[in-house]
Amino acid sequence: MGKPTGFMEYDRTDFEAESVSERIKHYNEFHTALPAEDQRRQAARCMECGVPFCQSGLVLGGMMTGCPLNNLIPEWNDLVFKGCWEKAYDRLRKTNNFPEFTSRVCPALCEKACTCGANGDAVTVRSNEYAIVERAYSEGYATPNPPKVRTGKKIAVIGSGPSGLAAADQLNKRGHSVTVFERSDRIGGLLMYGIPNMKLEKHIIERRKAIMEEEGIVFKTGCDIGNNVSAEEILKEFDSVILACGASQPRDINVSGRDAKGIYFAVDFLKSTTRSLLDNDLADGTYISAKGKNVIVIGGGDTGNDCVGTSVRHGAKSILQLEMMPKLPDKRTENNPWPEYPRVCKTDYGQEEAIGVFGNDPRVYQTTVKEFLSDGEGNLNGVVLVKLRPEKDPSSGRTVMKQIEGSEYTVAAELVLIAAGFVGAQDYVAQAFGVEKTARGNVASEEGTHKTNSDKVFVCGDMHLGQSLVVRAIREGRDAAREVDETLMGYTNL
């Protein structure tokens, strides 16, 4: 611990966000990093406590708390305080392949488990991580480090999201020859098209891709395995295959009027904006636009929030965000103690922007859609909503949300975005490789492993776990890479 009294001397100071009125004018990242000296003071707040829950990655109370990557947080906080930035970067990269991604999009499970946060304000772990990795790029020591010896083994990674990229990065460091196949026109998976530019500017992905290419990884875009590229060819050419295609099957809302024009899945809405933004700065007008429309977002999670923020930037007339469950408390309750993940109400950037523009929180709780309404030409023009109440299911004992009879009401809507989560991997990829799926729609593996029922085929990330966080996807990719390496070589040092 560089400064034992740091947590008592310095108050928490985090990223500064650009004002709502300014940031909604553009699609760029809108947080400003702290000056280096201020960041050192924030690192000095780390207590290097005897049991660093921040790096634990434990499941407590049914939710994960602490970093799933087991990042060596107290170590690199101490190095930042001492001004040893390059050594801090080395320690950070020991456990995290892509700190430039996680420091932007991770919900900071580490901070939720920080000992300082038990009775005060947690250490600014995420902004410290951001400072370390961005300094590494600006000072030129985030550079390619290709393996000196190749093993002669060839590995195919199907999907270039965070889990696939992590697996590829690890296996390439080991000396295997890795080819990453991506069905889209750009690599990155949900990093590229599932997360809006204002949370993760896409040149950050390209910057890391360039390093990985210099280290020897081959990227092939436009390759949709099971459609324009056969799985048989992949299995014949490569010694091992890792499936990392994500949980890309969106959950639908099947109620009357679903076929009305103007109802889209959130992922399609977000992807259309990002692609148009990258291709021609939204000049082509081919993206799904919320401009001048009454927008309803179905789903209260991160993706729903991203839809709200994007709709605000489009110039929506109004925005309503539906959440089936009751509003969470504003502060921890007694049955949700530290270091469990805090089950509290969070107002994210998109909701902040909607409040700033429209003067009220867009979220409506314990509400769902009962019917979509359309005009004579099939265009969406309204939605019938219904209120819900929690009830105990007598057979399972679980709480379920039941419609309240007579609580229906109608609101105007020309655009509905379904952000209700995902129900597993798309069938055609699993079928192409002959792998089994679980009842939840994920690709099945042998218990405690990433090995599927198909010879040479492994699985990782959301395709394996179901919809989860970027940081967990990276963990999955690293773990799958270790298993593949051990299978091919008889041992592993990953």
Question: Cβ distance 11 to 121 under 8 Å?
Answer: yes
Q: How far is CA 252 from CA 264, 406, 416, 465, in A?
A: 10, 25, 12, 20
State the average pLDDT over residues 35-50: 93
Strand order in the sheet with 363-365: 263-265, 415-418, 294-298, 318-323, 363-365
The rounded Cα 292 to chain-centroid distance in angstroms is: 29
% of the chain surpassing 70 pLDDT: 100
**pLDDT of 26 higher than 80:** yes
Q: Which fold has domain 154-248+423-489?
A: FAD/NAD(P)-binding domain (3.50.50)
Strands 363-365 and 367-374: unpaired
* Domain range 263-418, its CATH number among 3.50.50.60, 3.30.70.3270, 3.40.50.1370, 1.10.10.410: 3.50.50.60
Whole-number pLDDT of residue 395: 84
Q: What mean pLDDT value characterizes the chain?
A: 96
**pLDDT of 394 higher than 90:** no
In the chain, where are the structural domains located? Answer: 6-138, 154-248+423-489, 263-418
Task: Please name the residues in contact with 359: beta carbons below 8 A apart, sequence gap of 6 or more.
Answer: none
Whole-number pLDDT of residue 291: 98
Tokens for 16? 């500064």
Summarize pLDDT for 252-302 with one digit per residue, the tens.
999 999 999 999 999 999 999 999 999 999 998 899 999 999 999 999 999
**pLDDT of 355 higher than 70:** yes
Question: Cα angle at 296 between 293 and 300, to 5 degrees?
Answer: 145
State the average pLDDT over residues 343-348: 96
**pLDDT of 139 higher than 80:** yes
**pLDDT of 167 higher than 90:** yes
Angstrom distance (rounded) from CA 430 to CA 443: 7
How many Å is the maximal CA-CA distance in the chain? 71
Question: Are domains 6-138 and 263-418 of this chain identical in fold?
Answer: no
175: confidence class by pLDDT, cuts 50, 70, 90: very high
398: confidence class by pLDDT, cuts 50, 70, 90: confident
**pLDDT of 311 higher than 70:** yes
**pLDDT of 48 higher than 90:** no
Whole-number pLDDT of residue 488: 97
The rounded Cα 371 to chain-centroid distance in angstroms is: 31
Summarize pLDDT for 478-494 with one digit per residue, the tens.
999 999 999 999 999 99
Q: Tell me if residue 72 falls in helix, strand or coil.
A: coil
% of the chain surpassing 90 pLDDT: 93
Angstrom distance (rounded) from CA 198 to CA 221: 24
Tokens for 305? 């929030």
Q: Tell me if residue 314 falls in helix, strand or coil.
A: helix
Amino acid at 56: S
Summarize pLDDT for 181-238 with one digit per residue, the tens.
999 999 999 999 999 999 999 999 999 999 999 999 999 999 999 999 999 999 999 9
Whole-number pLDDT of residue 1: 66
State the average pLDDT over residues 354-366: 98
Give the DSSP H/E element, type plus range, for residue 338: none
Which residue in this structure is represented by tokens 């999955």? 476
Whole-number pLDDT of residue 393: 86
Give the DSSP H/E element, type plus range, for residue 337: none
Whole-number pLDDT of residue 478: 98
Q: How far is CA 104 from CA 63, 168, 201, 429, 458, in A?
A: 21, 21, 10, 30, 29
Q: Which fold has domain 6-138?
A: Fumarate Reductase Iron-sulfur Protein; Chain B, domain 2 (1.10.1060)
Question: Pick from 83, 113, 116, 124: which is nearest to 8 by CA?
Answer: 116
Question: Cα angle at 51 between 46 and 53, to 5 degrees?
Answer: 75
Question: Cβ distance 166 to 474 under 8 Å?
Answer: yes
For 152, counting Cβ atoms within 10 Å of its Cβ (0-12 exposed, 13-18 middle, 19+ buried), the class is exposed
Strands 380-392 and 399-403: antiparallel
